[in-house]
Structure 1
């Protein structure tokens, strides 16, 4: 690992219900410690087959709307061939094709260059796994 690359793993407990978890403060704290005011890229990665990352507004209902849209698009019923776990769990394995498990974000002057209302969020519809990891990697 060079001085231009740093990585850190967050341990996140999501509970046993569908959820959107805002990771923006965790990303900013990581960059304050390791970016040193440099420009670069922050890669956020979820090493799970049933979770994803989204950049969206939170707190005004968009996170709830996203979960509702995913329920409409990927119903938790018996249509899925992947059948272990809770009923409809197969949809959780399709989620990362729609909500990808990664995001690469610009860092300017050591800070995330997000839009005014944008947040970095973990999207987890898997009610069978409450423990998640998120890898933050800064290249700058």
Structure 2
């Protein structure tokens, strides 16, 4: 049975560190540390930053979900601005932003997005190595 952790934050940049902290803690509670935890936490930071920066629905909340099932970790970030889909950019060397999705693509084994009836979800998947999988404690 997969382990799942879900939490919500307001769509404001000041809450991005809170999301990063929740992700890091959930991963540590599951025994996921080291490089995989760093890649997943950095990916969460980028996806949550994008969600809070681009969501145009007033009083919205961003939902972050982590799912650990066998040898795969899934990270999902959802917001109610379902029609504003993520588009990778190719920023110039002097631009400060626009590299988040490229970072997620480099850090995750796969990433993408899907639209629901009222939300969009941007997801990233990470494959645990056999050594990482054996360190994860049994889940109820």
TM-score by length of 1: 0.29
Of Structure 1 and Structure 2, which has the larger fraction of its residues in helix? 2
Of structures 1 and 2, the one scoring higher in RCO (CA 8 A, sep 6+) is 1
TM-score, normalised to structure 2's length? 0.29
